[in-house]
A and B are shown apart, each in its own frame.
Chain A
Amino acid sequence: MVAPKHIENLLYEPRGFWDVRQVSSAVQPTQIRFDQANFFNGEKYPVTLYRLTLAPVGYTFRTYANPAVAVPTLIEYHNDAIAALTRSQIQINAPGRQHYSKRDLLIPSWGTLPTWEPRNKTDGTNASGDNSPAFASSLWNVGRWDFAHSLVMPRLGYLELDLASFPGVLGLTPDDAIRPIANIGFQETGATGADYFVGNQRVTRVPLEFLNTTGPDAITPPFFAPDAFGFAASPGTSTLNWPPTSSFRARDYDAQNVSNRGPTQVLGFKVQIDQIDYDNAVSVTGDPSGTGLNPVNSLLFNVASRVRLRNSGTGAWWWRPGAPLALMMPTMTPALTYELPVPITLGPGDTLEVELTVPAPVTIDGNLLEPNYQLGIGFCGEAVIEA
């Protein structure tokens, strides 16, 4: 999607609404409604939403199996990200005008856009054995959002993107050797005429922090549970939800401004998480199965975010702080992405209804399989502001 030119007298700012809920199939009701307050347009501008994202949130592993256990028990079987996504159902409704279905639909039945990167080549070998390991989470691990309309930013404006500290995995020593690194980029171009710095990008490279959820300095993650199945009990050291070291700082952003004469158009942003060392460590010490083969989930699902424009625009957060990155990057994301055939426009004071249904409890040989499901939903679009 190529962002069209700025339209005179209208400003567009990206907006997203999101929510994450953990539901147990062992506790009635198994059909729940996401909090409507989290989809409430509390601003004075209409917000047009054009993409929907769905994702399992907080899972340590993409798929998980323990072949050493003959009979699957609580955490030994289908307690992974893919199972959560493929077994749940969802219904979306813009009250009074748009119903996307009359009943709950299986999440995979929402026709997804091809928004993910090529997979790791882990199967097959050759003489050099030149493939990625089976537990590798992803090939590039990049997410991005190309805006439908460019964001016009004055000369002295800047963008602020913060990444939250995230829970580590049980048994993992949170040191620099395994610390994931986030690469953040905002792509931009000139705002007028023939843009002679088309394709410019402002970038930074920041470390991610492990959240402390145990011990005397423990803080409770405010956004979503670290892991639905108890694999994660973080021994992290960060007691800040938004550590300043994990932010694209204004100074760095401003220093990369290539235009000293006027506004720029921001066309979108990207976040890439280098979790190669983290994957290696999780496969060794964080995998309860002991196989070291279970593929680690992308941290784009687990790292929370917030973004806003400063010194210009509305100055409001583009979404309620804490959204998992994968939900707010609808152009390229490991989440399931669905393009709304008719965009939903939320006027001021308007909201959405979203229902989630998880399957009935499953038992095998009398063993209750993992009943918890943790799913996130995001709506991405833009606020339309009369200048």
Chain B
Amino acid sequence: MDDHIEQRPDERYIDYMVRLAEKNLCNGIIMEPRAFFDVITLDDANRITNGSPDVFFNGEQFPIRLTHLSAAIVPDFNAGAGLDERFVQRLGLRLTFHDAYYMSREFVPIPLWLNKQVSGPPLVTDGTSSATFDRPVVLSARDTLRIEGALQETPTNGPRLVSASFTGTGMLSGRPYFFSSERSVGDTLPFVFEAARFRNDGTEPVALTDMALTCGAELNDPVGQGDIRQLAVNIRQVGNGTQADWFQGPTVPLSLTRMPSVLNGYTTGRALVHRFPGVGLLWEPGEGLTLAGLPLDASAQGLQLGISLWGYITVT
């Protein structure tokens, strides 16, 4: 790739700057998924609530490209109140970066952010989130994935069957690979999926292209529909890769180390998904954005809004 980009004679300076930023879309040695997530309690009608300042920020030393935003009401288990997901209709959202508002200076109701179809078959969409990686993840020979999860709430009708799975292609043979592990979970204690199931024991690196997380129904529940809102996970590669957590959440006022899996439905699921136009957001180290939410109606006070930005880091 040519490292030197000239401004064209008839080109506006802003266009030139945008083109320079797009230069970052180069291939790296390692490209690994990243999601930045926060859970914001929207306190009061007509009061703007900002997200945690340390979340939506590139704290690593390599550039990050963000392609999707997802949003959903997540259960407020501290309050113990019932959850009605429909109230996401009454929340407005605004992003600010480089002194510019996105998508408007007005708070855009979250359903109007939606520009990507993610609804899966009704039989599984309640309990499944899946995502296609923008860039494949290379799982080198002898590498594995550490996937830590926890239920949000103790099941009352028996344990839930949860799973994590990845599909990919052998980088030499071209053969398909499927890595998956499931586990029966009956409490809210953190657990780690069996790492041996994700270990690449072959002789070639595997390019992982897709992932899926599922959370089944409670075993003795007569209704077999799962509920992906009950699961939260975090992932990191063991072996090569950056060895950093793929999902990065807030540390204040409450440290969240696992991302609610409902937010992981960038390809299929039940979160509202917005695909950033063009090349998406490009964050150099130290760059970030500010997120603000606003209840558009008094009835939306106290709701917990989960937000995530999804993309990948490019290690050059």
Q: Which residues of A contact B (CB under 8 A)?
A: 2, 114-121, 123-133, 136, 138-142, 144, 146, 181, 183, 185, 187, 189, 193-203, 205, 256, 270, 272, 274, 276, 332
Contacts and interface: CB of A to CB of B under 8 A. Distances in A.
Contacts of B102: 199-200
B112 A124 contact: no
Interface stretch (B7-15, B174-182, B205-213): B7-15
Name the residue among A123, A140, A197, A200 with the largest chain B CB count within 10 angstroms.
A140
A126 B227 contact: yes
B155 interface: yes
B83 A131 contact: yes
Given A119-B122, A125-B221, A183-B112, 20 more contacts: A2-B277, A126-B153, A126-B155, A128-B81, A128-B83, A128-B153, A129-B82, A130-B75, A130-B83, A132-B85, A139-B85, A140-B89, A183-B111, A187-B115, A196-B14, A200-B102, A201-B112, A272-B89, A272-B109, A276-B90
Contacts of A121: 85, 126, 225, 227, 270
15 contacts: A114-B119, A117-B119, A118-B270, A124-B227, A125-B223, A127-B156, A129-B82, A130-B83, A131-B84, A132-B84, A138-B86, A141-B89, A144-B115, A201-B104, A270-B114
A260 B297 CA distance: 33
Name the residue among A130, A193, A256, A276 with the largest chain B CB count within 10 angstroms.
A130
B269 interface: yes
B271 to A, nearest CB: 9
Interface in B221-239: 221, 223, 225, 227, 229-230
A140 B272 contact: yes
B154 interface: yes
Nearest to B100: A197
Given A114-B117, A127-B153, A276-B89, A203 B108 contact: yes
B14 A194 contact: yes
Contacts of A202: 104
A123 B86 contact: no
B84 A203 contact: no
Contacts of A116: 119
Interface in B105-144: 105-106, 108-109, 111-112, 114-115, 117-120, 122, 125-126
Contacts of A138: 86
Contact of B225 (A124, A197, A198, A200): A124
Which 6 residue pairs of A and B lie closest in terms of their CB atoms, listed nearest first?
Answer: A130-B83, A194-B18, A124-B223, A201-B103, A194-B15, A118-B270
Contacts of B77: 128
B90 A274 contact: yes
Contacts of A132: 84-86
Interface residues of B, number: 60
A137 B133 CA distance: 33
B114 to A, nearest CB: 6
B220 to A, nearest CB: 12
A53 to B, nearest CB: 15
Contacts of A193: 11-12, 15
A189 to B, nearest CB: 7
Contact of A140 (B14, B111, B218): B111
Interface in B62-118: 75, 77, 80-90, 100, 102-106, 108-109, 111-112, 114-115, 117-118
B23 interface: no
Nearest to A193: B15
A139 B126 CA distance: 12
Contact of A126 (B90, B111, B125, B156): B156
Contacts of A200: 102-104
A259 B200 CA distance: 52
Interface string B291-316: 00000110100000000000000000
Contact of B115 (A114, A126, A139, A146): A146
B126 A140 contact: no
A183 B86 CA distance: 15
A200 B101 CA distance: 9
Contacts of B223: 123-125
B278 interface: yes
A194 B19 CA distance: 7
Nearest to A270: B112
B89 A124 contact: no
Nearest to A116: B119
B145 interface: no
A239 to B, nearest CB: 27
B39 to A, nearest CB: 15
A185 B108 contact: yes
A332 B117 contact: yes
B166 interface: no
A199 B276 contact: yes
A274 B91 CA distance: 11
A276 B86 contact: yes
A203 B106 CA distance: 7
Interface in B3-31: 11-12, 14-15, 18-19, 22
B217 interface: yes
Contacts of A189: 277
Contact of B108 (A130, A136, A201, A274): A201
A128 B217 contact: no
A198 to B, nearest CB: 4
Contacts of B81: 128
A159 B115 CA distance: 20
A183 to B, nearest CB: 4
A329 to B, nearest CB: 12
